[in-house]
Amino acid sequence: AALARLHRNAGRRVRVFKHGPDYLDPMVLEVASGHPVYQLHPWMTGETECRWRLAEAAQAADLLLVEGAMGLFDGDPSSADLAVLAGIPALPVIDARGMAQTFGALALGLAHYRDDVTVHEVIANRVGSARHVEMLERGLPPGLRLLGAIPRSEAMAIPDRHLGLVQASELDDLDAQLDAAADVLREAGLDRLPMPVTFTATPPAPLPRLLDGVRIAIARDAAFAFIYPANLDLLRALGAELRFFSPLADPDLPDTDALWLPGGYPELHTATLAANPSMLASIREHYRADKPILAECGGLMACMDTLIDGEGRPHAQFGLLPGTASMAGKLQALGLQSLATPLGELRGHTYHHSRLETSLSPLAHATRQAGSEGEPVFRQGSLTASYFHGYFPSAPSLVTAIFRGQAWEQQAP
């Protein structure tokens, strides 16, 4: 984020992407760069889409940044796999605190662990002094150089909570902090542009307007904010009219044919949700009218009869599904998953710290990337609900069926 703001403040056009499923980091990166942040993941979004999004962004940008996930070689596909697919160099950021020559050994290992991964430079993080930086530079092997050395600074710290970073909209001083962090990087010499890269890709074919005339109300506020920009783009490309609303603040739903309750932090706003009776009544009326609803993760939790917050206090919620969602105090599920149906395979992920108790039997189960059974998917009336977060462009026909309230069932094994 600091790199993006550094180059943006220098007058450059910057686009940032995020490797893999993530909602919170892209919120900060969007504020830093001034542009929406899209996911790139060879398995979830597909290799073709990865190439196309980079090529499209390169036409109007001076700098493209792709934030990796975990370490360079962690995961399948890893950040290194994405770098190779896209034809871009990797830029490792190495925590240099408490080390000298070992920094060079780590850089050497990262640069040569795989022959197909290109590493020209590394960044030293949390350095202690100019003398420390000199030691790090001297320890680098031939062919590698230091792009910059970042001193320890409070400007580089962003608060987090159980699902990751605090949402960008909740950080009142985020712009000022990004500017301060950018200044730290500028003083550390990180304002140099990388070597140019050429991107080529074929744009996707236009989609049929399967949702033409369908109005979709989308919850978007501090409680429901986990939305991929690509999901919104797909709905618009299919012809849907999107209407955003706040379950926390608005008195009722906008005029709509379908409802999407995405993930987020309803557990932090249970009392506020419960104290908005007109909105609860509006959502229940939509459900009783048998209009389509998609509820993902936090949306699923809010659809239960009761949501028990992190302090153990129960709160009545939308009451569309029988049972209780309760905060567990520790991670319950994490990883890539997919939902196979006759209408296509919807790919995505799961990540939650709550658990569900319900008498309702699932219609289907998602499948973990490794092949084992994943999250249950519930279907009651025209409501589809799961802890599973879907990446809509991976299965446009299935997404169409969900928002049109049409039946679907799991692909037979």
Catalytic residues: 297
Q: State how far the Cα of 228 lies from the Cα of 389, in Å rounded to an integer.
A: 10
d(CA 369, CA 140) in angstroms, rounded, equals 38
Give Rg (Cα) of the chain: 23
How many Å separate Cα 294 from the centre of its chain?
18
Q: For residue 151, which of 122, 183, 175, 177 has the smallest C-alpha distance?
A: 183
Residues 6+ apart with CB under 8 A from 235: 211, 216, 242, 392, 399, 403
CA torsion sign, 141 to 142 to 144 to 148?
Answer: positive
The rounded distance, in Å, linking the Cα atoms of 242 and 245 is: 10
Tokens representing residue 292 in the block: 């389509």
Distance CA 15, CA 8 (A): 9
Distance of CA 207 to the CA centre of its chain: 24
Return all residues near 138 (Cβ < 8 A) that are at least 6 apart: none
For residue 217, the Cα-to-chain-centroid distance in whole angstroms is 21
β-pair type (344-352, 333-341): antiparallel
Which pair of structure tokens corresponds to residue 344?
């296509």
| Omega before 77 within 30 of 0, i.e. cis | yes
Distance CA 55, CA 43 (A): 19
Structure tokens at 286: 């939509």
Q: What angle do CA 376, 377, 381 make, to 5 degrees?
A: 140
Query: Residue type for 410, please?
Result: Q
